[in-house]
Amino acid sequence: MAQQREAAIVGIHEYPSRYDPDVSAIQIKAASIKAALDDAGLKWSDVDALYDAQDGEGGGGLGLAAYLGLKPTVLDTTQVGGSSYEFQAAHAMRDIAAGKCNVAVLSYGSKAATLRTPIGTGGATGGGSWQANMEAPYGQTLIANYAMVAHRHMHEFGTTSEQLAEISVATRYHAMRNPQAVQAMNDLQFVGVNEITIQDVLDSRIIADPLHLLECCMVSDGGGAVIIASADVARGTKKKPVWLIGSGEATSYRENGGDITTSAGAQSAPIAFAEAGVSPSEIDVAMIYDSFSITVAVMLEDLGFCKKGEVGEYISGGRMKFDQPGGPALNTDGGGLSSNHPGMRGIFLLLESARQLRGESTSQAANAKLAVAHGNGGLLGGTHTGGTVIMASD
């Protein structure tokens, strides 16, 4: 299949604050949309398509357009947790290619830090559904679910905590070069806003065996917006377009006898790479949802950067750092671990991919031409979704 260049990211904005008690989530969305349109040189009234993950007070499919004062011809309310924005980017590509719209807006706003939302350690409270009734009595926190994937990966492949810690180390290395991430860690009262070592990770307390605190993402306020436009519109925007050249979507869930060390990414990534007509070895920048270290480890395998079971060896020695050879630059904004995780990180994967392919990252990979963003929604060791988007520089 020939690579298509019909839709491009033309405007981006990441809401700068990670702790902002004085705004609402829907205000973060609206302010980010305006800033991203300004970044593109497009007008408010140019927007003809809204993609929304049903976040933001009084927003969602019914409220967001009314709040913004827009009358889009495409309204897509795909909500698949942290991967929502990769799915939405895929849908925007399709809708633009089909001629349904020209200027698509994805936005996100969250107040998880202000509200002290216990995303990882809240545990299931409810019950009352086919799924919750079988899980509520057992105290499964979100972190513990991911930790179960880590234990199985360790059991099957000999992966170690020392190896997984490489992901936290590389991510913090990038975060310390990103002023927004440094501010975030200060505002959220991180202990030790500095580069970290493997030993630092191992010395941090265990939240759910085998995952340590420094293998877990932060809980921040925040948000942002992405403007995706048709090729015609992209030719007239202020910055170089970042082309969307391939996408894949998948879901996975606990199955009797199933293998939880393999994620939905193993299904979505080959679809995306085939559509893009590129291979993982050509990728310069990998923006992979780092809710936890193990999430990235599994995705590096499932995206095809190394074989299943070999990620421990692959990530050893720091090759994920932006200035090291031998692999793609990983999560160069500082990731969910050390820059921004308000609950659904998927939008930031697109934002930093675009920065890299424009040459604007604070940990800029040399001569970056191809990036992959892979979002994960839900529980890695249970029901989850994977969305893969491949992007190319102009």
Partner 1 sequence: MSKRPMPKFFEPDTQAFWDATNDEQLVYQQCKACNEVVFTPRAHCTSCGSADLEQKTSKGDGTVYTYSVVRQNRNPAFADLGAYALAYIDLDEGFRMLSNVVGVANPQTDVKVGQRVKVKFEKQDEGEYLIPLFEPI
Among 69, 130, 325, 367, binds partner 1 (CB under 8 A): 130
d(CA 70, CA 50): 9
Pick the closer one to partner 1 by CB: 94 or 151. 151
Closest-CA residue to 242 (of 7, 2, 1): 7
CB 86 within 8 A of CB 346: yes
From 17-25, 60-68, 144-152, 262-270, span contacting partner 1 (CB under 8 A): 144-152
205 binds partner 1, rule: CB under 8 A: yes
Pick the closer one to partner 1 by CB: 189 or 256. 256
Pick the closer one to partner 1 by CB: 150 or 242. 150
202 binds partner 1, rule: CB under 8 A: no
Contact string (CB under 8 A) for partner 1, positions 258-287, x = contact: x-x---------------------------
Query: Number of C-alpha atoms within 13 angstroms, CB side, residue 275?
Result: 24
Closest-CA residue to 196 (of 215, 218, 221): 215
254 binds partner 1, rule: CB under 8 A: yes
160 binds partner 1, rule: CB under 8 A: no
Among 59, 381, 386, 387, binds partner 1 (CB under 8 A): 381
d(CA 179, CA 191): 17
From 31-39, 98-106, 150-158, 161-169, span contacting partner 1 (CB under 8 A): 150-158
* 3-state secondary structure at position 8: strand
- Rounded least distance, CB 131 to partner 1, Å: 7
131 binds partner 1, rule: CB under 8 A: yes
206 binds partner 1, rule: CB under 8 A: yes
- Rounded least distance, CB 184 to partner 1, Å: 22
d(CA 347, CA 186): 22
Q: Which residues contact 69 (CB under 8 A, 6 or more apart)?
A: 44
Residue 66 Cα distances to 26, 28, 61, 139, 226, angstroms? 12, 16, 9, 40, 19
CB 7 within 8 A of CB 92: yes
Among 129, 160, 199, 316, binds partner 1 (CB under 8 A): 129
Closest-CA residue to 158 (of 309, 381, 315): 309
Residues near partner 1 (CB under 8 A) are: 118, 121-141, 143-145, 147-152, 155, 205-211, 254-258, 260, 381
